Structure 1
Amino acid sequence: ITPQPGVDPVEAAAAVAGESSTATWTVVWTDLLTACDIYRAKAYRVDPVPGTNDQYFAYIAYECDLFEEGSLPNLTASIIGNVFGFKAVKALRLEDMRIPYAYLKTFQGPATGVIVERERLDKFGRPLLGATVKPKLGLSGKNYGRVVYEGLTGGLDFLKDDENINSQPFMRWKERFLYCMEGVNRSAAATGEVKGSYLNVTAATMENMYERAEYSHAIGSVICMIDLVVGYTAIQTMAIWARKAEMILHLHRAGNSTYARQKNHGINFRVICKWMRMSGVDHIHAGTVVGKL
């Protein structure tokens, strides 16, 4: 928390706790109709951030009953809803969350772990190696598939679509899927290894996303991919579909830095990762060890 000048940090923490649970900007008589003392979040500890003069770590506890079971949109509506525009604070950043096991178990969670995925690939004892097709926009379907084939045959385990390749005029999604899977199958036959390509099924509507995901499954893909920008409801919905279809679901973190880049305002990426794992995605795009991100 970075309080506004003149605002006591403890008061700011208490205000954030209240605004993200039961409180509002004024006194209302309807508080008497419920157990507000129980349901209101509590700021139980405030510590200064080392090396700063106006930033504080505020620890806030919430009753589990404040949140709908298994609903990431409902959880985030409270935790990062109105409170980030609160006038009492100059800046606010969600650094971490510790989630009780009882509430965590109401979410689907990821369908597979790394052991299951390695068993499907029959690859053990080394890191799995992947890359992204470049240029990410502008290639024809045939040339895109050629890149997939050559990359996989050259030693990659997976290739993937980038976040903004969906179904543009230069290459429609079905064309890309077909050429990608042709490259995957040819490479698997040539190398004797299980190979794959993350097919991005992100689209404007859930109906279109279902159509693309089901088609990717029908032509033999073992994995599909969505972008963070599709939203929490769509992510949870696609994770449920992927589990039923026994497909691996990869999430690209597109848009994450609008929350995570500033060090005093927004959301730490570790929190977004926790939410996505709760939702049920198997992989989360996290950038490269070296490179531009």
Structure 2
Amino acid sequence: MNDQRVIATYLVETAFSLEEAALVIAGEQSTGTFTKVPGETDRLKEEHGARVEGIELLEERYQPGLPGATVPANHDGKYRAGKITISFPLHNFGPSIPNLMSAVAGNLYELQQLSGLRLLDLELPEAFAKRYQGPKFGIDGTRKLLNVYDRPILGTIVKPSIGLTTAELGQMVERLALAGLDFIKDDELNANPTYAPLEEKVRVVMEAIERAADKTGKKLMYAFNITGDWDELRKHHDIVKNAGGNCVMVSVLSVGLPGMAYLNDYSELPIHAHRNQWGMLTRSPHLGIEFTAYQKLCRLAGADHIHVNGLNGKFYESNASVVSAIQACTTPLYAGYETMPVISNGQWAGTAHPTYEATKTLDVMHLAGGGMLAHPDGAAAGFESMRLAWEAAASGESFSDCANKNPVVQRAIEKFGKVGH
């Protein structure tokens, strides 16, 4: 049979030996169960069984990371943590994201032999690239639509998140478009509310964008939140497209990866993938999935832009994790499948330097809600402060020198923080 395999790397903690834990995971997620059953022949296990490919002990601990784990009768009080690599025959589930997830992230999280489990990375065979077309726009396509090169895409999020009438929203968008912003997105909390139905919102916002474009010659990108049930996705996409819109947004964990792939099959617009709810999958170091693995699936499913959190932001995530997420998104997948990392949460001009120094890339979308809209001199000044900060960072000029030369940056510091470089 075809020997193509999916390779999954896990961080595992167990009171048993790592070897025992690895065999339990491999068996449970392929041909085995808690006891031998009729029909589980050597031939079947050879053709369909998961294989343990590697085990690396990292450390020993004296407290379990998760509750409910069992210990062996002769337990020595230690919990062993390490990396385990397991391969799965592709023919068990085929190039299918939903069925892949059942194999590599299914019931194994509940196994009582484990006191910690985290999916770190996935290596997927070319069959997935043949099944899933991936991003249609990505970094280059987004830049071409906006005609913005040699710097990050800079923009903001609609705030207040909820409660603006469509008339108020239209006024805000026109003001921001005239200020020169590249990009605006709906908040994840605001998709198709009864007080501001999507169809009406799209009409008002696009009229505002076109009025501003007539004056400035620049048409900004607006990501309309079309998150909803699957039978709504096409209708809502078409409402945006037919009104002249140039981006749609979905909450990935709300519609699911198959939902996003379904949207991508017919979408004619960039898909802005918001990862709200991500914390519940990743915040515990003993549980969940690393973004390095998850972003590959998002890219397969068609994410042209995907959120990665932000350095020194308001949400919990280490800066090292954010940097790793940005680097993962910009690492080639199947020699393509480019997606633009979206940096957001607690961002302002002062976060440009640490972000560039840590990643050395300009291929990001840098969004600031309060950090742009609440600039003391207005949103246009907020946009300008971020543009100048990024120019300084890329040229090697310190943030201090940038602020000394540019009052708009100094005013941002007075409002949002202190000079850090």
TM-score of the pair, normalised by structure 2: 0.65
Displacement of 1:57? 0.7
Structure 1 residue 35 and structure 2 residue 44: aligned?
yes
- Structure 2 residue aligned with 1:217, among 226, 231, 241? 241
Q: Structure 1 CA distance, aligned partners of 2:212 and 2:60?
A: 53
Contact 2:184/2:223, CA 8 A, preserved across alignment: yes
Match of 1:145 in 2: 170
**Structure 1 residues 10, 33: CA separation in 2 closer, same or farther (over 3 Å shift)?**
closer
Structure number with higher relative contact order (C-alpha < 8 Å, ≥ 6 residues apart): 1
Displacement of 1:182? 1.9
Displacement of 1:4? 3.9
Q: Structure 1 CA distance, aligned partners of 2:185 and 2:222?
A: 5
Displacement of 1:18? 1.7
Q: Structure 2 CA distance, aligned partners of 1:82 and 1:63?
A: 18
Q: Structure 1 CA distance, aligned partners of 2:302 and 2:38?
A: 41
**Structure 1 residues 21, 134: CA separation in 2 closer, same or farther (over 3 Å shift)?**
same
Which blocks of at least 5 consecutive residues in structure 2 are unaligned?
Answer: 1-10, 62-78, 316-421
Deviates more, 1:71-80 or 1:141-150: 141-150
Match of 1:14 in 2: 23
Match of 2:231 in 1: 207
- Structure 1 residue aligned with 2:84, among 58, 64, 74? 58
Displacement of 1:76? 0.5
Amino acid in the other structure paired with 2:87: A
Q: How many residues align?
A: 287
Displacement of 1:216? 0.7
Give 3-state SS (helix, strand or coil) of 1:47's partner.
strand
**Structure 1 residues 179, 93: CA separation in 2 closer, same or farther (over 3 Å shift)?**
same
- Structure 2 residue aligned with 1:259, among 281, 289, 292? 281
- CA deviations on 1:160-204 (whole Å, 9 max, x unpaired) are 01112122233222222122212221222222113121001111x
Structure 1 residue 163 and structure 2 residue 185: aligned?
no
Which blocks of at least 5 consecutive residues in structure 1 are unaligned?
Answer: none
Structure 1 residue 78 and structure 2 residue 100: aligned?
no
Match of 1:100 in 2: 125
Amino acid in the other structure paired with 2:44: A
Amino acid in the other structure paired with 1:287: N
- Structure 2 residue aligned with 1:118, among 143, 146, 150? 143
Contact 1:256/1:269, CA 8 A, preserved across alignment: no
**How many percent identity over aligned positions?**
29
Contact 2:138/2:270, CA 8 A, preserved across alignment: no
Deviates more, 1:7-16 or 1:60-69: 60-69
- CA deviations on 1:91-116 (whole Å, 9 max, x unpaired) are 21001112223443332211123222
**Structure 1 residues 21, 104: CA separation in 2 closer, same or farther (over 3 Å shift)?**
farther
Q: Structure 2 CA distance, aligned partners of 1:187 and 1:20?
A: 55
Give 3-state SS (helix, strand or coil) of 1:46's partner.
strand
Structure having the higher Rg: 2
Structure 1 residue 277 and structure 2 residue 299: aligned?
yes
